């Protein structure tokens, strides 16, 4: 079990891993004219930007966090894996988005703006989620060989469906569960890595931060099994951002709305700024 009690610092940086499903169904519409993949990528981009801005030292962020982005469909690709300063200076490109800003008269207007983009993927193929977790596991093993006393790594997995690697759904789920169990068996100076999961499909009732798998649907039961408990050390932040989590909640949401997805990813990636509840 993870203690997750240590703060990120330049001396003992933290490790944050995003797993992003880029299978074919992620091209379906999700919100504001964006596909599931486009929207999830935008939220991840904004989260990375916020982490960088929260750790700025002049015009470059301090290297308090190492971030990896792993995309998965038929293949698994490590798209990004570096410290904040390198990530901040080397986005894959910039993308135009519409942003609402105050108009000076009490209203809002939309303007075009550009944001840094670190995700380069098209939605196609099937969902090799087990292989993505296996890749994350290998990265974590390499990380802790060099960082034995830092905060436990955090994995945030965003998907719109069950794992499927071309064999059968049951076998794919079994393989995925086994990979996650092996990740949870890894021990650092701060306990086991944390595994948080967000499902953004649109079928069924929403499920947020359950404490039991009783009365959960198939998708939510699967996520419950592969998700970590939210550590007590992160509950102050959960309360501060009005996350619907209590002691014993799993770090998971199923059938998440766009608002809940944003809140979930911001919370899960807040390791180095957990003290926002004190601000």
Residue-by-residue DSSP string for the chain: -----PPP-SSS-EEEEEEEE-SGGGGSEEETTEEHHHHHHHHHHHHHHHHHHHTEETTEE-S-EEEEEEEESSSEEEEEEEEHHHHHH--SEEEEEEEEEE-SSSSEEEEEEEEEE-------S-B-HHHHHHHHHHHHHHHHHH-SSSPPPEEEEEESS--B-SS-HHHHHHHHHHHHHHHHT--BTTBSPEEEEEE---SS--EES-S--TT--HHHHHHHHT-PBPPGGGHHHHHHTT-S--TT-BSEEES--HHHHHHHHHHHT-GGGGGGGG-
pLDDT in tens, the chain (279 residues): 667 878 788 788 999 999 999 999 999 999 888 999 999 999 999 999 999 999 998 899 999 999 999 999 999 999 999 999 999 999 998 887 665 556 566 665 655 678 899 999 999 999 999 999 999 999 999 999 998 888 899 999 999 989 998 889 999 999 999 999 999 999 888 889 999 999 998 666 889 999 999 989 899 999 999 999 999 989 888 888 889 999 999 999 999 999 999 999 999 988 655 444 343
Residue ranges making up the domain that contains 245: 14-92+123-274
Within a domain: 118: no
Within a domain: 218: yes
Number of domain units in the chain: 1
Within a domain: 100: no
What pLDDT is recorded for position 5?
Answer: 78
Within a domain: 111: no
Within a domain: 112: no
What pLDDT is recorded for position 109?
Answer: 64
Within a domain: 115: no
Within a domain: 114: no
Within a domain: 26: yes
For residue 222, the domain's CATH number is 3.40.50.410
The rounded Cα 98 to chain-centroid distance in angstroms is 23
């Amino acid at each position: 079990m993870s203690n997750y009690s240590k703060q990120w610092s330049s001396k003992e940086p933290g490790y944050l891993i995003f797993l992003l499903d880029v299978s074919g169904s992620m091209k379906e519409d999700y919100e504001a004219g964006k596909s599931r993949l486009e929207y999830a990528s935008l939220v991840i981009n904004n989260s990375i930007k916020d982490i960088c801005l929260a750790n700025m030292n002049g015009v470059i962020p301090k290297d308090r966090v190492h971030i990896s982005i792993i995309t998965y469909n038929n293949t698994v690709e490590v798209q990004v894996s570096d410290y904040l300063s390198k990530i901040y200076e080397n986005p894959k490109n910039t993308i135009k988005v519409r942003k609402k800003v105050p108009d000076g008269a009490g209203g809002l207007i939309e303007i075009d703006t550009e944001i840094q983009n670190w995700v380069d993927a098209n939605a196609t193929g099937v969902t090799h989620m087990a292989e993505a977790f296996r890749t994350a596991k290998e990265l974590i093993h390499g990380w802790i060989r060099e960082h034995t006393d830092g905060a436990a790594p955090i994995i945030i997995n965003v998907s719109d469906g069950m794992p499927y690697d071309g064999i059968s759904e049951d076998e794919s789920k079994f393989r995925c569960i086994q990979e996650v169990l092996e990740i949870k068996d890894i021990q650092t100076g701060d306990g086991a890595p944390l595994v948080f999961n967000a499902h953004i499909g649109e079928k069924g009732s929403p499920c947020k931060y359950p404490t039991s798998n009783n009365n959960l649907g198939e998708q939510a039961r699967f996520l419950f099994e592969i998700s970590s408990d939210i550590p007590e050390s992160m509950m102050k932040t959960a309360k501060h951002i009005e996350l619907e989590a209590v002691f014993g909640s799993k770090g998971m949401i199923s059938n998440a709305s766009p608002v809940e997805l944003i809140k979930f990813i911001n919370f899960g990636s807040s390791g180095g700024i957990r003290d926002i509840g004190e601000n």
